[in-house]
Amino acid sequence: MDDLVELTTERLRTTPPTCVRGFRLTPTELPVTYDDDCKSVWRLACDCGEERGRVLGYPLHDYNPTYDGPECYLSPLGFECSCCGKVTEIIDTDIHGYHSEVAKIEGGIGSVKSRGEGPRRPFSCLACGAQLFVVTVSFVYWPAAFDLLEEPELPILEFFNEFLSYGRCVACGEVSALTNFGKL
Ligand SMILES: [Zn+2]
Ligand SMILES: [Zn+2]
């Protein structure tokens, strides 16, 4: 079993879940310090190779007027390439992550997470307002995810407990957290 845990940890750290497989992915490090849970971290690039783009989604302030933290976005989240204009989907919390996977097992769809609808808006740098970013995403697996090893038919890779995303502003270099979904 310990071998299996070790092998699985290595696989989860080195394999992206399906939601971001539309991108060219480069393994990287988080731009912030975070906890020690098992995670994979990826820098996104459009399939044309370009890493700079706009992040499309839904401002949390529009959906939760009592939220008074720094701007962050709800999903579905997309990336619009600055070179070829193609939009590639990053994540939809109704389809991706731990609770959505559990819902699929139970024959449903959706999650407990708020989610945006309608036209999306580009995220603006919290420091300078510019809209082009190089984006890093991370999928975090809590120790409880390893309980799934007792049910090998389940795709453990898709049962990530947290999703993190950060944009490094192309104009000023400041890093903004793009999302704050909490536990998925
Ligand atoms: Zn492109
Ligand atoms: Zn900026």
| DSSP string across 12-34 | HHH---GGGTTSEEEE---SS--
Average of pLDDT values for 16-26? Answer: 97
Q: What is the whole-number distance in angstroms between the Cα of residue 51 and the centre of ligand 1?
A: 8
The pLDDT tens digits of the residues spanning 39-57 come to: 999 999 999 999 999 999 9
- Averaged pLDDT, 57-81: 94
Closest ligand by atom to 54 CA: 1
Q: In the structure, what pLDDT confidence band is assigned to residue 107 with cuts at 50, 70 and 90?
A: confident
Taking alpha carbons only, the member of 78, 178, 165 closest to residue 125 is: 178
Ligand 1 centroid – CA 75 distance (Å): 21
pLDDT at 35: 83
Residues with CB under 5 A from ligand 2 (ion): 125, 127-128, 130, 169, 171-172, 174
For the residues 118-137, what does the mean pLDDT come to?
97
- Helix, strand or coil, per DSSP, at residue 38: strand
Write down the domain spans for the chain: 2-177
CA of 57 to the centre of ligand 2 (A): 18
**In one letter, which amino acid is 69?**
G
pLDDT for res 41: 98
Per-residue confidence (pLDDT) for residue 18, from 0 to 100: 97
The ligand minimizing its distance to the Cα of 79 is 1
Q: Would you say residue 181 has pLDDT above 80? A: yes
